[in-house]
Amino acid sequence: MPPEARFDTPAWHGPGARSRRRQAFRWSALVWSLVFPPRQHRIAPTVSGLFLIALALGIGTAAYNTASNILFLTLALLLACLLLSGLLSWFNFMGVRWRVRAQAPWRAGHEALVTVETVNGKKWLPTYGLWFDLETRTANRVGPDDDQVSVREALAAVDKATTRVRLFLRERMEPAGGESRLEWVVRPSQRGVERVELTSVGSFFPFGFLGKNLGANVCQQVLVWPAQVEYQCWLGTVAAGRAQGERVPRAGAGDDLMALRRYRTSDSHRLIHWKASARLQKLMVRQFSAEAHESFWLKLETSAAVWTRPGQFELLCSLAATMAEDLFAAGKLRGVKVNAQPSVTIRQVRDVEAFLDELARLEPVDDGGRTPPSAISDSGVAPLPSRNIITFAPEGACGVAAYVDGVKTAAA
């Protein structure tokens, strides 16, 4: 998922989501949809509904056996109530639209918010008692991929990687645009691509006889960044014994105001110059001169031959992500490089986020044990310097260590 797509507004779904070209109403289509419901549309009787059907059958049998018109009348009334139930249920869903917002990015171990926004587009009638079945599933982590895994184990792995919840609309949704927001707090356990899906929308409305389910199939993919880890760092000690780093002109948090410039996405809101923004009718931010400081490159090599243990590899991702954020916060992150990909200079927050996105998807690469070239330059990006490069290597059975030019500087 590109970072730009992170704040895209999701589309509306449901009966009230108007397509550009509205389909003409046809009775035949309506009748056919009643006979053969659309895919994933289900109407199932509840326990009380089954009881009502059994009651209707009993009264009908008695009516035929006795030719009593009173029983026929009661039977007709029961059937009419069942039809009314279906009609009201149809009214309840009519004109309702919904969308799912999963505010990306997520972070493993941190709480994230999934929001279901619902709007009642009916003109006169409110909507009651909807429920929304949501689930999240790690898309790229189904389970062990070797052939020895049985189907049951695979299903169990899928089930374990899936979190389900049913959100209920407790309040009445007013007609003519009444809105409702249902929130679900999720805590993803591991990094990766998380699939947030609204599987169905249902209701027992109005009498609890029938449970009507509309298959929603609203899906959104969210990247889960690696979890933050505790690590020991000796970077200051290492840097103090070295020559001073290069001076780079960049927008940073230095003391000296360099200029004002237009706001760009991912700029900190603290840097907005409100007076200038008000005067010029556009958002302006303060640009400070960069200071001379030590800057480092993070270099990740994820050879499957080196990172043989999955847990250790996860720790690598977490350590790299945490160090990247910490170094960026300290203004000491110059750039990153992942395997054979081009090195990327880090200038803004969005660059760090792109790196975290990359870490979310990162997998061990099978390079046959060859070590990739240490510095590959690419057009438009800075070449990897010969010093101040942080590399990572397994440490012990489950630890990971970071090295700066061969000197151990951090460990987790």
The distance of Cα 35 from the centroid of its chain, to the nearest Å, equals: 37
Which residues are bridge partners to 333 per DSSP?
296
Q: Which of 56, 96, 161, 182 binds another protein (CB under 8 A)?
A: 182
Q: Which of 96, 167, 227, 290 binds another protein (CB under 8 A)?
A: 167
In one-letter notation, the amino acid at residue 308 is T
CA distance 82 to 87: 9
Interaction of residue 246 with another protein, rule CB under 8 A:
no
Spell out the alpha helix ranges (H) of 175-306: 235-240, 274-280
Would you say 407 and 395 are in contact if contact means Cβ atoms under 8 Å apart? Answer: no
Give all strands of the β-sheet with 399-404 in edge-to-edge order: 232-233, 407-411, 399-404, 389-395, 296-300, 333-338, 344-345
Closer to another protein by CB, 67 or 151: give it: 67
Would you say 140 and 361 are in contact if contact means Cβ atoms under 8 Å apart? Answer: yes
Interaction of residue 170 with another protein, rule CB under 8 A:
yes
Q: Which of residues 207-226 bind another protein (CB under 8 A)?
A: 207-209
Interaction of residue 340 with another protein, rule CB under 8 A:
no
CA distance 375 to 339: 10
Interaction of residue 296 with another protein, rule CB under 8 A:
no
Interaction of residue 206 with another protein, rule CB under 8 A:
yes
Interaction of residue 90 with another protein, rule CB under 8 A:
no
Candidates 281, 114, 234, 109; CA nearest to 181 is 114
Find where tokens 């960044």 sit.
225
Tokens of 216: 């929603």
Q: Which of 21, 26, 181, 370 binds another protein (CB under 8 A)?
A: 181
Report in angstroms the alpha-carbon separations of 344 from 121, 374, 375: 47, 14, 12
Interaction of residue 279 with another protein, rule CB under 8 A:
no
Minimum CB–partner distance for residue 81 and another protein (Å): 7
Q: Which of 6, 12, 15, 72 binds another protein (CB under 8 A)?
A: 72
Interaction of residue 84 with another protein, rule CB under 8 A:
yes
Interaction of residue 178 with another protein, rule CB under 8 A:
yes
Q: Which of 1, 17, 53, 76 binds another protein (CB under 8 A)?
A: 76
Minimum CB–partner distance for residue 294 and another protein (Å): 47
Q: Where on the chain is the footprint of another protein (CB under 8 A)? A: 48, 51, 55, 59, 64-77, 79-81, 83-84, 87-88, 124-126, 128-129, 131, 167-174, 178-183, 204-209, 281
